[in-house]
Structure 1
């Protein structure tokens, strides 16, 4: 499919709280280098900045990032600040807190509730902002999210955070958070072949309540943080050939097709892949193709 003239509004828009965004956004994790969370070879700084600026030119107005997205010499938040500040008025920057890494890049244990102010303030410093549009609490295997989410709710009351979301949660965690403060977005791992019953239920609940559902690793499959998978089912390849599209575009189109409240945040440090990801929002699957891909998804579960 042609990618050059397709912009991020091709998939339509959705509101995250009171903020309208195009349904195809951008995830910043892979901007820092091929090793993602590891201190491997850093990305080319100029290329990463060019990708961010090109994303804005293509209509992307929803960025997903975190202070713990860094590799040797590169910080996703710093790249975003350098590339885009002063920020466009319609740009929503989402970040997440909970996990953290020390100055050597080693992962620490899950943050305590009292640590979260520092995490929020670090994101503010790196991004050069006085408030954060959207902050996700990333659950780190804890049974209850109440104390951590309550700490973020306090920061929201102080004006440091505009909207709150939760990540890697089951339905009970969503309900627990909603009893404390409004939840405008949920971020769980989800994509074609990632068939987890708890996440499917969260997806359904979000649709019923008008909450944005923002899956991560939607085109990664088992590759996870390493990027788009190369292991594609025959049905995915068949649909891709029919549309002269890439398998990754088909995976993104299928994800967006699961509900108007689903948003995509594919990430890349490659300008060509960026254009392909944005163009996936214009790919329209037939009912028959959707049924075939849905069957692949169910079988994976």
Structure 2
């Protein structure tokens, strides 16, 4: 049986199936803004259904519609959670696409902006998101991560994470301060995942449903989904959760119907035959 919860940083118990806020404000980084009333409704429904881990970022937005403001409108004053994770590092270009990268001196202002937008005194989890839209690697992150570590010491941040990193960058960050979570695009980097599992660190695949780039209706997914009476998206989410007890899933959507479909994957039980088929 898949364990449903994870102890984030040893002091925050969260459901392993959470919610990613990127698509609340817009379908894609260069797409039009969505109706903010729909975003508020999706968030409130997510919490009603038991979600207590929401992943967001200050650069999730289009024009005046911003994910962090939607979260505050929908859920503040956050009496019993949820745990909110955010990311700093990317800087939006003129087209709104987060193609730039903050310097160490700019990180404090980004963290403070997230605190104001969300209406919080302390952020539960802040990831240093490294690089642009390409894969990880190729640069030192120690100086930037040290800035976030200092903000943690000040009490503005509870836990720290890293995103879009390779094994060398992950190790470098851990020499600076404790790392509670890694958010990478899900891949075959089983070594990094195994290290996270051994250390009690969350591994959070972004774009868990492909991000619009990878189709989900592969032959294996479709076959298992048909056998279980589920959708390909539900099987994909369930298979991620079955990968390791350290994996957290954060599928995002701007639709309450898709939200309910995604969260129903929490009740989906994949047997040994299903897992063998999915993993080829």
TM-score bin (small chain): over 0.9
Question: Retained in 2: the 8 A contact 1:96–1:135?
Answer: yes
Structure 2 equivalent of residue 201 of structure 1 = 191
User: Where does 1:127-206 land on structure 2 (aligned, <5 Å)?
Assistant: 127-140=118-131, 142-190=138-186, 194-195=187-188, 199-206=189-196
Which residue of structure 2 lines up, in the alignment, with residue 6 of structure 1? none
State the match for 1:78 in structure 2. Answer: 69
- Give the 4+ runs in structure 1 shifted more than 6 A: none
Alignment map for 1:1-301 (pairs within 5 Å): 12-17=4-9, 18-34=11-27, 36-38=28-30, 40-101=31-92, 105-140=96-131, 142-190=138-186, 194-195=187-188, 199-220=189-210, 223-224=212-213, 229-295=214-280
Q: Aligned residue pairs: how many?
A: 273
- What whole-Å deviation, never above 9, does each CA across 1:232-277 have from its counterpart, x for those lacking one? 2211100000111100001101100001111110000111110111
The CA distance in 1 between the partners of 2:62 and 2:3, in whole Å, is: 32
Please list the CA deviations of residues 121-154 of structure 1 after superposition, one character each: whole Å capped at 9, or x if unmatched. Answer: 1111111111111000011155111001001001
Paired residues of 2:216 and 2:232 also in contact (CA < 8 A):
no
Indicate if the aligned counterparts of 2:3 and 2:245 stay in contact, CA closer than 8 A.
no
- Cα distance between partner residues in 1 of 2:170 and 2:78: 31
Q: Which moved more, 1:137-146 or 1:92-101?
A: 137-146
Supply the distance in 1 between the matched residues of 2:81 and 2:72 (Cα, whole angstroms). 15
Q: TM-score, normalised by structure 2?
A: 0.93
Work out whether residues 134 and 161 of structure 1, in 8 Å CA contact, stay in contact via their aligned partners in 2: yes
Larger strand proportion, structure 1 or 2?
A: 2
Paired residues of 2:167 and 2:192 also in contact (CA < 8 A): yes
Change (3 A) 1:291 1:285: same
- Give CA deviations for 1:7-39 in whole Å, capped at 9, x if unaligned: xxx9610011111100110000000122x212x
Deviation at 1:158, TM superposition (A): 0.6
Instruction: Tell me how far apart the structure 1 counterparts of residues 184 and 66 of structure 2 sit (CA, whole Å).
Output: 23
Q: Deviations over 1:110-129 (max 9, x none)?
A: 11111100110111111111
Q: Return 5+ residue gaps in structure 2 as ranges.
A: 132-136
Q: 1:103 to 1:127 in 2, by over 3 A?
A: farther
Unmatched segments (≥5 aa) in structure 1: 1-9, 296-301
Q: Secondary structure at the match of 2:87?
A: strand
Secondary structure of 2:152's aligned partner: helix
Between the aligned partners of 2:4 and 2:18, the Cα distance in structure 1 is 11
Counterparts of 1:150 and 1:47, CA distance in 2: 38
Give the distance between the partners of 1:70 and 1:281, measured in 2 at CA.
28
Normalised to the residue count of structure 1, the TM-score between the two structures is 0.87
